[in-house]
């Protein structure tokens, strides 16, 4: 029984141990994406929110066969502790996967982690001190922002456009931070089929951004979950293919196989690799031997390249369904039209707030992720991330139709209470531009 008299005086009715937590836990908060999962899982709700891969496109027999083979041939090894760096054979196979994106690497420089999210957390743990500054696209991956905040770092969002991160803006943000004595630790970027924006950094900009970072002594953290999931044309080679010493690369099998395996990796320069291994061992002792061996068996036996091509077709069909539905039901708005990945970034009319609008959307049985989730500074209220990876094309069309009902209802309310009659003509040319129009200044 707890002696209430001994509880910390700064506790509260909900958590008597509140005052005992480390200060850095103030940065731990439920992300808006994760909070949506409970609602979005209701069968009557069309979820355009979470980025869940369509794992049903993966033939069960491929995975079951790999599992059976591992247990029959390597059972004692699969169920035992393993190396903190990962299974050697799988690390070799990972270099073959990365070669598809132009990366030439040694298996010795690969560290297997419990999903690439874990690699991101380990990297942040190694590099971030309280008060440090991280440069990242605006918008940026929601859980990366949560991780950086949990280590008491701040994020400075650098603007993007339809070609990705803007190099000149990066120069300006570096100069501004240095002018006031801020310590920039690294640039975090998702250059290919960006989450949440869906855009891809052009080859010319990749070269320029890497040069800017080299000039300023800034490490680049390249997060690349979606690079192999292109539709019509292959994207530019990974940034890590250009610079081996200045880029730490994060990859995962969650999008090209299945997230339930929780296997990702980091490719890092030698010194950083050694520290990542130590951090990995401190956190989990060793990544799961069983899941690593199953994936290794799958890569050895299955036509995994053909399976990735199958996923491309599935996601291409869903993306086209979403774009067609947006053109039909919300032609006055603008959005990105990605050539791969999972996401479309929608820009609302002025005066609409995506976060405030979400409860009404849920009552209309459609869920999305508000743009505010992807900014550390509260921006993004005029944006919505729409995910097309999981719902069927028909469900996507239903979801977009419901979303249009919500948006038009909000505009009607604003028209009624504002009495201006002007809100519906904010973008008179948008219907002609459709998906080809990118938000006019940046991605906010």
pLDDT digits (tens, 9 = 90+) for 57-98: 998 888 999 999 999 999 999 999 999 999 999 999 999 999
pLDDT of residue 104: 96
Judge contact between 197 and 159, C-beta under 8 A.
no
Mean pLDDT of the 199-227 span: 98
How high is the mean pLDDT of the chain? Answer: 90
**For residues 199 and 192, what is the distance between their CA atoms, to the nearest angstrom?**
7
Per-residue exposure over 345-384, b if at least 16 CB sit within 10 Å of its own CB, e if not: bbbbbeebebbebbeebbebbbbbbbbbbbbbeebbbbbb
Mean pLDDT of the 143-152 span: 95
Instruction: For the chain, report the end-to-end CA distance as a whole number of angstroms.
Output: 52
User: Sorting pLDDT into bands at 50, 70 and 90, what band is 434?
Assistant: very low
CATH numbers and ranges of domains, the chain: 32-57+307-436 (3.90.1150.10), 60-301 (3.40.640.10)
pLDDT of residue 431: 33
Residue 423 sits at the vertex; the CA angle it makes with 417 and 427, to the nearest 5 degrees, is 170
pLDDT reading at 437 higher than 70: no
Return contacts of 21-24, CB within 8 angstroms, 24+ apart: 23/152, 24/130, 24/150, 24/151, 24/152
pLDDT in tens, 35-66: 665 665 678 899 999 899 999 999 888 899 99
Choose between 439 and 307: higher pLDDT: 307
User: Sorting pLDDT into bands at 50, 70 and 90, what band is 10?
Assistant: low
User: Sorting pLDDT into bands at 50, 70 and 90, what band is 22?
Assistant: confident
pTM of the model as a whole = 0.89
Biggest CA pair distance of the chain: 74
Find, among 307, 426, 386, 346, the residue nearest to 57 by Cα. Answer: 307
pLDDT of residue 23: 80
User: Sorting pLDDT into bands at 50, 70 and 90, what band is 388?
Assistant: very high
146-155-239-306 Cα dihedral, nearest 10 degrees: 30
264 has which bridge partners? Answer: 113, 252
pLDDT of residue 42: 74
Q: How far is CA 121 from its chain centroid?
A: 13
**For residues 185 and 188, what is the distance between their CA atoms, to the nearest angstrom?**
10
Residues in the chain: 444
**For residues 351 and 348, what is the distance between their CA atoms, to the nearest angstrom?**
8
Mean pLDDT of the 305-316 span: 97
Q: Render 287-300 in DSSP notation, one character per residue.
A: --HHHHHHHHHHHH
Backbone angles phi, psi at 195, to 5 degrees: -105, 110
Task: Say which range, 105-114, 272-281, 289-298, 418-427, has the weakest mean pLDDT.
Answer: 418-427
Coil, strand or helix at 374: helix
pLDDT reading at 185 higher than 50: yes
Task: Say which range, 58-72, 94-108, 267-281, 375-389, has the weakest mean pLDDT.
Answer: 58-72
Q: Which two tokens stand for residue 128?
A: 């971030």
**For residues 328 and 334, what is the distance between their CA atoms, to the nearest angstrom?**
12
Mean pLDDT of the 8-25 span: 73
CA distances from residue 44 to 41, 246, 395 in whole angstroms, order as listed: 9, 47, 10
């Amino acid at each position: 029984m707890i002696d209430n008299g001994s509880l910390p005086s700064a506790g509260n009715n909900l958590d008597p141990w509140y005052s005992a937590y480390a200060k850095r836990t103030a940065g731990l908060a439920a992300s808006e994406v994760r909070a949506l999962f409970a609602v979005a899982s209701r069968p009557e709700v069309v979820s355009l929110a979470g980025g869940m891969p369509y794992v049903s496109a993966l033939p069960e027999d491929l995975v079951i066969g790999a599992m059976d083979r591992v247990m029959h041939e390597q059972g004692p090894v699969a169920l035992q502790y393993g190396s903190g760096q990962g299974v050697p054979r799988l690390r070799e196979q990972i270099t073959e996967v990365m070669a598809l994106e132009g990366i030439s690497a040694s298996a010795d420089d690969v560290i297997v982690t419990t999903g690439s999210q874990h690699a991101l957390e380990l990297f942040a743990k190694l590099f971030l001190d309280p008060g440090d500054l991280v440069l990242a696209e605006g918008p940026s991956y929601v859980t990366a922002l949560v991780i950086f905040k949990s280590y008491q770092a701040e994020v400075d969002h650098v603007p993007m456009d339809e070609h990705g991160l803007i190099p000149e803006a990066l120069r300006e943000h570096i100069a501004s931070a240095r002018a006031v004595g801020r310590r920039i630790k690294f640039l975090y970027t998702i250059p290919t089929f960006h989450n949440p924006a869906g855009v891809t950094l052009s080859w010319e900009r990749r070269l320029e951004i890497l040069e800017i970072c080299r000039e300023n002594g800034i490490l680049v953290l390249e997060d690349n979950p979606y690079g192999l999931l292109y539709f019509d044309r292959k994207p530019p080679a990974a940034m890590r293919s250009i610079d081996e010493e200045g880029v730490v690369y994060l990859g995962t099998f969650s999008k090209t196989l299945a997230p339930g395996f929780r296997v990702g990796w980091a490719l890092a320069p030698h010194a950083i690799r050694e520290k990542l291994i130590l951090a990995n061992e401190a956190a989990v002792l060793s990544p799961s031997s069983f899941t690593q061996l199953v994936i290794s068996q799958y890569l050895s036996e299955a036509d995994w390249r053909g399976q990735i091509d199958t996923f491309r077709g599935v996601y291409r069909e869903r993306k086209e369904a979403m774009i067609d539905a947006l053109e039909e039901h919300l032609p006055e708005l603008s959005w990105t039209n990605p050539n791969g990945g999972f996401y479309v970034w929608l820009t609302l009319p002025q005066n609409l707030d995506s976060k405030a609008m979400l409860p009404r959307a849920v009552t209309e049985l459609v869920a999305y992720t508000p743009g505010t989730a992807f900014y550390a500074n509260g921006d993004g209220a005029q944006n919505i991330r729409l995910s097309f990876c999981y719902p069927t094309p028909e469900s996507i069309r239903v979801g977009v139709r419901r979303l249009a009902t919500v948006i038009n209802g909000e505009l009607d309310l604003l028209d009624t209470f504002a009495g201006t009659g002007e809100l519906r003509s904010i973008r008179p040319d948008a219907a002609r531009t459709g998906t080809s129009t990118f938000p006019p200044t940046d991605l906010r």
